[in-house]
Amino acid sequence: MKILVIEDEQALADTLRRAISSDGHWVDIAHDGHRGLELALTGAYDAIVLDLMLPGPSGDEVCRRLRKLDDHTLVLMLTAKDGEYDEADGLDAGADDYLTKPFSLVILLARLRALGRRAGRERPTTLQVGDLTLDIAARLCKRDERTVELTAREAAVLGRLMAAAGGTVSKQDILDEVWDSPADLDPNIVEVYVSSLRKKIDAPFGRHTLRTVRGAGYRLAPDEP
């Protein structure tokens, strides 16, 4: 699924991003209610992991605004408040599920999978663009039925591009999705992996699927031999 995490604690947001990504989902992060609401309304997400206590609009308010605008994206609310009335308030605001802090990442991931099944939105673990396929869980890449050997990082970069369904993905988005500490890295490291991917998924097959969008990032689109 494509999941938005709205959490103001940087360390927890990073932990959630890594855990949810490792479960085969694609993750965006917002650290306050205003940015979270903006992304939620424009990003076409399958689910939102929403902290209750946020700078700007609270999690309850973000959820209420989404529902008022007839946006029914699945919402899993996180909060340090564990009283039954707090949980009732969150559910009444429109949340689909509720998890109190501290929580188990194993349980959070299971809850997200359950929400995906409930709505029939859980996505397959295999991505495809033309004759290029990537099994995320097995880290198995194939082109024209020939296996392409990829490192874990290369597979993660390729998966982020394939999940964009032909859309452009910026270097920073790739960094945020694939690396554990993106703030400490030069965004140009992405170029190294893109170059390596081209040599593996395009050059041996006479293809030009992985393209640079000048000033914006990269996109992956079908290309005939």
- C-alpha torsion sign, points 13, 139, 157, 132: negative
In 3D space, the residue among 108, 104, 138 whose CA is nearest the CA of residue 124 turns out to be 138
Q: What is the pLDDT of residues 81-120, one digit of tens each?
A: 666 666 677 677 888 888 888 888 888 998 888 888 776 6
**pLDDT at position 182:** 60
Residue 11 to residue 29: CA distance in whole angstroms: 12
Q: Check whether 202 has a pLDDT greater than 90.
A: yes
Mean pLDDT of the chain: 85
The percentage of the chain sitting over the pLDDT mark of 70, rounded to a whole number, equals 90
pLDDT tens-place string over residues 21-59? 878 788 889 999 999 999 898 877 889 999 988 999 988
Q: Contact at 8 Å (CB) between 6 and 54?
A: yes
Question: Is the per-residue pLDDT at 224 higher than 60?
Answer: no
Q: Is the pLDDT of residue 71 over 80?
A: yes
For the whole model, what pTM was predicted? 0.58
CA distance 78 to 59: 9
Specify the pLDDT at position 125: 67
Distance CA 188, CA 37 (A): 30
